């Protein structure tokens, strides 16, 4: 990697302090920078003059989201149900079913409740109007098991009575086996919904605790699913739902620290758009490349077209299937080759040329895919290795604090690791972007940005991994790390801004395979920019 001097020289680069109005001396005099800067990261972001409005949409804005757990969510709903129930003078269960029908929107329910025909409204919501509620079972027998002890029968207002055991078995089947929270009356052709309080009272006691817990999980899922601005954090074991400011929101960061795409639920995949990522992941997962491999490494028998892989040195091939003997080099009959096959005179035969062309094309397609896949994977595994850095840096930070540094003063280390991880992640996905991009002048700029970011990322990585732990001159260490981090972040931002501008202005040209679909996706993205 480049040594320190190169880095200093680079920081004098004109391009470097672009828009850096907040901190003009940066880049002019490296030595002064940050040595006395005790603030947290808020400042270095401002250093590059990222104006609020100019920040790329594809980068996470940590301030925009709020978070909620399932328990809090349900508590909120209970509050809402109580409110509706007292305003509209409806039983609790009815209020709940109505609210759920209107996607938990109080306003919508109120509006429709006062304007629409109640018979239709209640029928659509699959619940019974209070005036029509039956207080007795229609029949004296449970129609599931045939139990005719009328005292034991329970109904939910529609008159279909079932005994307690049958109710419980029915609910267990619906909740545990079918994973449902919206449960209809067991009677065939009765679509009245069983309200939450009935479920809770039927599943009382420790024997049903698990079922009830599962039920409430599903209830919370249903609430989140019904809200376009809410999504569960996909990180394993994370219990938060993220509430975004609008439904078109792109990358968000959960309270647990995990960054993901609010649209597709995959990890933060800046700068590619969901559709591109989807196409890429599908390509990596399925064996669409197998056929390319076959074409690149095998040849069809010229007679019967069986696929043949050469596994020995001899070019005198005989097809195992049709016994045809041919030359691997020119694919012509073996016979005229005689004992001196290397005088292969039939090389320019037109038929052979076609086969060769096909093989070459497949070979280069495969090569291209492998080129990008290799780099994609490489950054992915580097990210995993660099997880270790978090521990190493933590140790170093403790050491520094022992030497009298303040907690705030040592945060730069962990922040540098965070930047490194972010840069790696972005780099990883730039290879997906590059794979689907056609070579245009803008593409060359993108590739340059990518190379720059890659270089800065490797420098930061190398510095943190190799030198940070050993450095005794802590002031120098801090200065170095902060410089490296700042430059890395700057390059990252440049790259993302450029990609985003391309989406906005429309200067990217995509691979034919996804070009058509990309038009819609890019439009959608641009709409979200206006929000």
Partner 1 sequence: MSSSITPARKRLMKDFKRLQEDPPQGIMGAPVENDIMTWHAVIFGPEGTPFEDGAFKLTLTFTEDYPNKAPVVKFVSRVYHPNVYKDGSICLDILQNKWSPTYNITGILTSIQSLLDEPNPNSPANAEAAQLYRENRREYERKVRDCVEESWSSDEEEEEDEDEDGQDGDDDDDGADGDAPDADKPDAAEQ
Q: Which residues are catalytic?
A: 314
The piece of 119-127, 148-156, 159-167, 215-223 that touches partner 1 (CB under 8 A) is 159-167
Count Cβ atoms below 10 Å from residue 403 Cβ, excluding itself. 8
Size of the site for partner 1 (CB under 8 A): 16
Q: Decide if residue 213 touches partner 1 (CB under 8 A).
A: no
**Binds partner 1 (CB under 8 A): choice among 64, 66, 105, 143:** 143
The piece of 182-190, 199-207, 260-268, 275-283 that touches partner 1 (CB under 8 A) is 182-190
By beta-carbon proximity to partner 1, the closer residue of 30 and 143 is: 143
Minimum separation from the CB atom of position 331 to partner 1 (A)? 42
By beta-carbon proximity to partner 1, the closer residue of 184 and 465 is: 184
Q: Decide if residue 137 touches partner 1 (CB under 8 A).
A: no
3-state secondary structure string, 16-83? CCCCCHHHCCCCCCCCCCCCCCCCCCHHHHHHCCCCHHHCCCCCCCCCCCEEEEHHHHHHHHHHHHHH
By beta-carbon proximity to partner 1, the closer residue of 142 and 277 is: 142
Cis before 271? omega within 30: yes
Q: Decide if residue 145 touches partner 1 (CB under 8 A).
A: yes
Minimum separation from the CB atom of position 141 to partner 1 (A)? 10
**Binds partner 1 (CB under 8 A): choice among 74, 80, 169, 281:** 169
The piece of 49-57, 83-91, 169-177, 510-518 that touches partner 1 (CB under 8 A) is 169-177
Minimum separation from the CB atom of position 178 to partner 1 (A)? 9
C-alpha dist (Å) from residue 475 to 32, 245, 390: 11, 41, 20
C-alpha dist (Å) from residue 500 to 62, 156, 465, 496, 506: 19, 55, 32, 6, 9
**Binds partner 1 (CB under 8 A): choice among 189, 340, 348, 350:** 189
Minimum separation from the CB atom of position 219 to partner 1 (A)? 21
By beta-carbon proximity to partner 1, the closer residue of 207 and 285 is: 207
Residue 85: name the closest of 73, 74, 77, 93 by CA. 93
Q: Decide if residue 146 touches partner 1 (CB under 8 A).
A: yes
Q: Decide if residue 159 touches partner 1 (CB under 8 A).
A: no
By beta-carbon proximity to partner 1, the closer residue of 60 and 185 is: 185
CA–CA separation, 325 and 323 (whole Å): 6
By beta-carbon proximity to partner 1, the closer residue of 144 and 294 is: 144
3-state secondary structure string, 144-158? CCCCCCHHHEECCCC
CA–CA separation, 255 and 239 (whole Å): 10
By beta-carbon proximity to partner 1, the closer residue of 169 and 365 is: 169
Phi, psi of 81 (to 5 degrees): -60, -45
CA 181, 185, 188: angle at the middle one, nearest 5?
A: 125
Minimum separation from the CB atom of position 206 to partner 1 (A)? 22
Q: Decide if residue 369 touches partner 1 (CB under 8 A).
A: no
By beta-carbon proximity to partner 1, the closer residue of 170 and 372 is: 170
End-to-end CA distance of the chain: 42
Q: Decide if residue 187 touches partner 1 (CB under 8 A).
A: yes
In angstroms, how far apart are the furthest CA atoms of the chain? Answer: 101
The piece of 59-67, 162-170, 222-230, 251-259 that touches partner 1 (CB under 8 A) is 162-170
Q: Decide if residue 188 touches partner 1 (CB under 8 A).
A: yes
Q: Which pair of tokens denotes residue 215?
A: 């039920």
By beta-carbon proximity to partner 1, the closer residue of 56 and 186 is: 186
Q: Decide if residue 382 touches partner 1 (CB under 8 A).
A: no
The piece of 161-169, 279-287, 370-378, 468-476 that touches partner 1 (CB under 8 A) is 161-169
Q: Decide if residue 182 touches partner 1 (CB under 8 A).
A: no
Beta carbons within 8 Å of 448's beta carbon, 6+ residues apart: none
Residue 26: name the closest of 5, 52, 10, 48 by CA. 48
**Binds partner 1 (CB under 8 A): choice among 29, 32, 173, 360:** 173
CA–CA separation, 142 and 161 (whole Å): 6
Minimum separation from the CB atom of position 133 to partner 1 (A)? 20
**Binds partner 1 (CB under 8 A): choice among 24, 43, 119, 165:** 165
CA–CA separation, 414 and 394 (whole Å): 7
Count Cβ atoms below 10 Å from residue 418 Cβ, excluding itself. 15
Q: Decide if residue 144 touches partner 1 (CB under 8 A).
A: yes
Minimum separation from the CB atom of position 121 to partner 1 (A)? 25
Q: Decide if residue 2 touches partner 1 (CB under 8 A).
A: no
Residue 509 in contact with residue 438, Cβ under 8 Å?
A: yes
CA–CA separation, 198 and 127 (whole Å): 13
Minimum separation from the CB atom of position 147 to partner 1 (A)? 10
C-alpha dist (Å) from residue 305 to 298, 354, 361, 425, 501: 11, 14, 19, 44, 49
The piece of 44-52, 168-176, 329-337, 354-362 that touches partner 1 (CB under 8 A) is 168-176
Helix H or strand E encompassing 478:
helix 474-505
CA–CA separation, 85 and 97 (whole Å): 11
Contacts with partner 1 by CB under 8 A lie at 143-146, 160, 165-166, 169-170, 172-173, 177, 186-189
């Amino acid at each position: 990697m480049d040594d320190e001097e190169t880095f200093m020289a680079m920081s004098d680069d004109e391009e470097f302090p672009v828009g850096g109005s907040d901190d003009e001396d940066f880049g002019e005099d490296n030595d002064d920078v940050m040595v006395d800067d005790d603030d947290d990261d808020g400042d270095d972001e401002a250093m590059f003059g990222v104006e609020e409005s100019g920040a790329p949409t594809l980068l996470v804005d940590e301030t925009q989201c709020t978070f909620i757990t399932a328990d809090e969510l349900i508590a909120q709903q209970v509050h809402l149900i109580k409110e509706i129930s007292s305003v509209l003078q409806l039983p609790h269960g009815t209020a709940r079913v109505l609210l759920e029908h209107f996607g938990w929107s109080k306003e919508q329910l109120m509006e429709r409740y006062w304007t629409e025909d109640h018979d239709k409204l209640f029928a659509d919501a699959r619940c019974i109007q209070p005036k029509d509620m039956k207080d007795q079972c229609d029949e004296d027998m449970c129609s599931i098991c045939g139990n005719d002890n009328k005292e034991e029968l329970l109904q939910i207002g529609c008159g279909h009575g079932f005994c307690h055991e049958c109710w419980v078995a029915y609910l267990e089947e619906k909740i545990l086996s079918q994973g449902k929270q919206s449960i209809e009356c067991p009677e065939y052709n009765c679509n009245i919904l069983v309200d939450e309080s009935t479920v809770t009272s039927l599943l009382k006691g420790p024997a049903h605790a698990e079922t009830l817990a599962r039920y409430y999980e599903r209830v919370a899922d249903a609430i989140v699913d019904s809200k376009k601005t809410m999504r569960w954090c996909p990180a394993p074991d994370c219990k938060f739902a993220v509430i975004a400011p609008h439904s078109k929101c792109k990358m968000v960061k959960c309270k647990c620290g995990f960054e993901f795409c609010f649209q597709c639920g995959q990890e933060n995949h800046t700068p590619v758009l969901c559709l591109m990522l989807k196409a890429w992941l599908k390509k990596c997962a399925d064996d669409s490349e197998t056929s390319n491999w076959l074409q690149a490494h095998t040849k069809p028998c010229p007679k019967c077209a069986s696929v043949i892989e050469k596994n020995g040195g001899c070019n005198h091939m005989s097809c195992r299937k049709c016994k045809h003997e041919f030359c691997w080099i020119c694919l012509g009959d073996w016979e005229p080759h005689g004992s001196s096959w290397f005088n292969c005179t039939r090389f320019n035969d037109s038929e052979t040329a076609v086969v060769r062309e096909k093989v070459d094309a497949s070979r280069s397609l495969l090569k291209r895919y492998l080129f990008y896949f290799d780099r994609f994977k490489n950054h992915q595994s580097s990210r995993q290795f660099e997880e270790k850095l978090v521990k190493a840096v933590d140790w170093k930070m403790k050491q520094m604090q022992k030497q009298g540094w303040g907690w705030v003063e040592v945060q730069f280390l962990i922040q540098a690791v965070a930047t490194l991880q972010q840069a790696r992640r972005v780099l990883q996905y730039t290879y997906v972007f590059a794979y689907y991009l056609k070579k245009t002048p803008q593409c060359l700029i993108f590739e340059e940005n990518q190379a720059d970011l890659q270089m800065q990322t490797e420098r930061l990585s190398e510095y943190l991994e190799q030198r940070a732990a050993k450095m005794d001159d802590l002031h120098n260490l801090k200065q170095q790390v902060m410089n490296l981090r700042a430059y890395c972040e700057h390059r990252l931002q440049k790259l993302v801004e450029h990609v985003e501008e391309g989406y906005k202005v429309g200067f990217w040209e995509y691979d034919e395979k996804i070009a058509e679909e990309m038009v819609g996706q890019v439009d959608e993205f641009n709409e979200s920019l206006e929000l």
